[in-house]
């Protein structure tokens, strides 16, 4: 709670000068027999980047629960300059060098526009919960959906200690398609979140606004962030 209040205070102090962060989502196929190598190379890239690059705010490596050969990388950078610094780093170049022997031809980058990015410092454990959800909103209801979901996420981060991260973004070429990536301390924290008045109100208020919803069951491989991020698009 104290960490979140501090990050909120810093945002108020910095005002509107805050740059728009970069949020990347990659969907990557892993070749048979290469998951351990993928994890090792990814760990080197993530640990060095989050640990040594001031503008690399978070990097998360996760895989589909039912298909460990389908991976996702979620990356957050302070701005485009920070992302360019990362792409010039030795650990990123090493990841690119090793990729042809590790990844399949399935390499997809989903272009996203950040809407809400907030996190606390992640201390990953074997029971840490990750959610990845894609929500299609009826085009004419996009503003109404945003007006409901943004305060709900803000309240969740403010009052729920077990909610470690909530990120929301819209697809660049389909602004009514929302991507949500969330991190919870454990299943108890997630179930507590689902029982809160603000989450129940969100479900009730958005029920008629949605055209579709897809929840991708994922399991975390390596989660690393700096913590204290608090960004909301205007």
Chain segment 95-135, per-residue pLDDT in tens = 999 999 999 999 999 999 999 999 999 999 999 999 999 99
Give 12: exposed, middle or buried? Use CB within 10 Å, 0-12, 13-18, 19+: exposed
Q: What is the pTM of this model?
A: 0.91
Q: Which residues make Cβ contacts (< 8 Å) with residue 141, sequence separation at least 6?
A: 208, 209
Q: Tell me the average pLDDT of the chain.
A: 93
3-state secondary structure of 21: coil
Instruction: Check whether 10 has a pLDDT greater than 50.
Output: no
> How does pLDDT run across 37-74, given as a tens digit for each residue?
999 999 999 999 999 999 999 999 999 999 999 999 99
Question: According to the model, what pLDDT value does residue 156 have?
Answer: 98
Domains identified in the chain and CATH numbers? 2-232 (3.30.70.100)
Contacts of 26 (CB under 8 A, 6+ apart): 72, 73, 75, 107, 108, 109, 110
């Amino acid at each position: 709670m104290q960490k979140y209040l501090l990050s909120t205070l810093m945002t108020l102090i910095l005002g509107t000068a805050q740059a728009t962060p970069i949020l990347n989502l990659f969907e990557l196929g892993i070749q048979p027999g290469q998951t351990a190598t993928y994890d090792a190379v990814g760990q080197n890239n993530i640990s060095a980047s989050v640990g040594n690059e001031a503008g690399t705010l978070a990097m998360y490596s996760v895989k589909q629960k039912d298909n460990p050969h389908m991976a996702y990388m979620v990356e957050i950078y302070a701005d485009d300059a920070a992302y360019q610094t990362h792409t010039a780093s030795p650990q990123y170049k090493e990841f690119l060098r090793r990729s042809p022997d590790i990844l399949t031809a399935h390499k997809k980058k989903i272009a996203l526009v950040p809407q809400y990015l907030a996190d606390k410092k992640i201390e990953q454990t074997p029971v840490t919960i990750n959610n990845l959800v894609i929500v299609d909103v009826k085009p004419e209801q996009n503003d109404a959906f945003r007006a409901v979901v943004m305060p709900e996420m803000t309240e969740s981060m403010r009052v729920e200690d077990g909610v470690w991260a909530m990120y929301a973004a819209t697809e660049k070429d389909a602004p009514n398609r929302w991507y949500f990536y969330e991190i919870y301390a454990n299943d108890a924290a997630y179930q507590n979140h689902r029982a809160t008045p603000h989450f129940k109100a969100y479900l009730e208020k958005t029920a008629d606004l949605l055209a579709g919803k897809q929840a991708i069951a994922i399991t975390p491989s390596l989660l690393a962030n700096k913590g204290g991020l608090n960004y909301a698009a205007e």
